[in-house]
Structure 1
């Protein structure tokens, strides 16, 4: 055993045992009590007598003496007094055994809280998955998968929108999973609904980001649909933030990127896997890059989207960006929501 200075021993005691009401008992091989100390009263032992069999006082000890192992630990055992304790039995000199009790009330409460949180997390995860299935399947599959798309792929003029919740990743690393999923549920509702309401398809939901595709379903210009969806996303998030501020909860903004052009659209998946809609092409990559460079509450759109969404051109101004990972820099246009918008 290392030679520890008294201050170190005192520190270790205060750190690990002081608030756990340690009580110890020195027992013979047959379980008879030889000596005791600490705080046995905390566990209901107020009239201890030398020579008495502790198996009669602590039922879990019945049949354990002499122990088969030199040391044994039992976690969160409910004593006869109703107190929860960690029980440690270990051998000492001359064949004696030590019985150590440490109050485990707080530990047990913490374990119960963790179990409760795990149960809540499971419920929220199930609810979140149901919500995602509703968005990705119920509202979209009835429309999308009735289209006559060729599985190998079909070329189509589309508008692709990427939206990301700014700062949510770092937030999720510091907050409990239950709170993270609650927040994600609220913000995803605010972000995904405009995609669906404007006739788009929520193609992918990737953590705290959404990819929406417009132009798969017949109707209004996909560029117009995507821009209107972007405006509504920011408005929804602003409204949600006001509610969360009143409730003293963390709030987040979103960044949005939109690009329009020819893309490969098709159904992919092997015979033994669920088939999914997939959109591939340079404009998908461009929209993703625009989203990455968008500031909070900003929508960045490419030139194709700007030209087609003529009703909203006055809301956008030219932006100078250095786009990475795309061979189509072109002209980029920016809409940045004012503080009092929404």
Structure 2
């Protein structure tokens, strides 16, 4: 964002940055207001109800705290604006809770409001108009964190916002504010810019740098009206900026806007979380029936559900347990299932590890493909190494079978490389991602003649391999239904 854009944004947030009056002028108007408030006691105000008495006590205590500070010849306009803001805020609340004050109270309230209404201090609308405008600003209550090093400012914000229906917590320092934010889900942060120790700009920077807090709206509040400081806060991620003494109408409106932004973000985050949970469920559920690559293809590409396919060169693997039908006839069904699940579980992990796509289980047989839907430059080698790893895993499987009193298993594996049509096959109501083509039939015929513990690879796969492997003696196979003679090679191991 350019400086001109930033300045424009600041201008939209606060219609103008007013010129500061001298610290001496601010002290004069504050002293006049404090003197008049201090001249009254609660006994001079007999008609106040309980709420109004609390407001008067707060205004009186604020004036008493301010009085000695005004005797100091400070030129810190930020601190003086802090004091003016606190005094004005309590006077406004008292004015609202006592619509028909007696002459003494009315004079004290008027003096405070007039003394802090100088445009350089607030630029606010008239009090009656402000109260009317506030009444028109309605929204959901929020959880507000008010951060200010001065106790009277924290108390004022807490009292004012609590009356507006919000739940308010306060923090006297940046460190405590960050600690609270780490333990609570806050809707809006009201952050004093000028604080000892960790100032508001550093707190803002840390909030916006933390992923879990970044979406929390932060409204900066400051008595300093320098443009450079405003620009720095906006660029650091501040959502809004108010000057002390703050305009109650603007504060209420901006808190309402901040709460709404936070609610929209929370709803969007909830929606994203639900989508992620649904996707994890879909992956976990359908991943048991389809390979991860196929599930990803469907989820990430809606057109992946359309019927049809494309021509792919793939390496096809078919494996089968030798003599399984006889074994299954001699064992109870639960023992057969236990033995088969152990075998298929181990083989599945190995195939997926090498990037293969499991097309289907046919009883004890496995049909897998390397090269679709995800293609790798070394798919033939992946298939070869996968087959070797599968045969090597049989020793561990048989060791477990022996412990459970189950028969030992031996399988034959066939590899063949060729062109197939890969895609969604079936109807609109029922389809599957599968493969069709002459190469599939050839692989099946090779697998039929593979012996126990043997890996047979077709000539096409041998020619496609990139690495070096030890091969056994080649042999010719005349397979039923296939005119050509198939040349196959036993795959023994990969050469170093």
2:461 maps to 1:305: yes
Of 389, 393, 409 in structure 2, the residue corresponding to residue 252 of structure 1 is 409
CA distance in 1 between partners of 2:454 and 2:353 (Å): 21
Aligned counterpart, 1:153: 309
Local SS of the residue matching 2:317: strand
Q: Which residue of 2 aligns with 1:268?
A: 425
Structure that is richer in helix per residue: 2
The structure that is strand-richer by fraction is 1
CA distance in 1, matches of 2:291, 2:423: 19
Q: Does residue 231 of the first structure (1) align with residue 231 of the second (2)? A: no
CA contact (8 A) 1:297 1:336 kept: no
Question: CA 1:218 to 1:155, structure 2 compared with 1: closer, same or farther past 3 Å?
Answer: same
Q: Distance in 1 between matches of 2:447 and 2:294?
A: 26
Secondary structure of the structure 2 residue equivalent to 1:224: helix
* Whole-angstrom CA distance in 2 between matches of 1:141 and 1:151: 14
1:143 matched to 2:280: no
- State the shift of 1:336 in Å: 5.2
Distance across 1 between alignment mates of 2:471 and 2:413:
15
Matching residue of 1:27: none
Distance 1:218 1:310, change over 3 A: closer
1:297–1:139 Cα change, 3 Å: same
CA distance in 2, matches of 1:334, 1:132: 37
TM-score (norm 1): 0.56
Residue 174 (1) aligns with residue 327 (2): no
1:222: which partner in 2? 379
What CA distance in whole angstroms lies between the structure 2 residues aligned with 1:283 and 1:201?
16
Q: 2: distance between equivalents of 1:294 and 1:260?
A: 16
User: Any residues of structure 2 matched to 1:1-342 within 5 Å, and which?
Assistant: 134-137=287-290, 139-145=292-298, 146=300, 151-216=307-372, 217-273=374-430, 275-335=431-491
Shift in Å at residue 218 of structure 1?
2.3
| Distance in 2, Cα, partners of 1:213 & 1:132 | 21
Q: How big is each residue's C-alpha offset from its partner over 1:61-120, in whole Å with a ceiling of 9 and x where there is no partner? A: xxxxxxxxxxxxxxxxxxxxxxxxxxxxxxxxxxxxxxxxxxxxxxxxxxxxxxxxxxxx
- Superposition TM-score, scaled by structure 2 size: 0.39
Displacement after TM superposition at 1:171 (Å): 1.0
Higher RCO (C-alpha 8 Å, min separation 6): 1
SS at 1:311 equivalent: coil
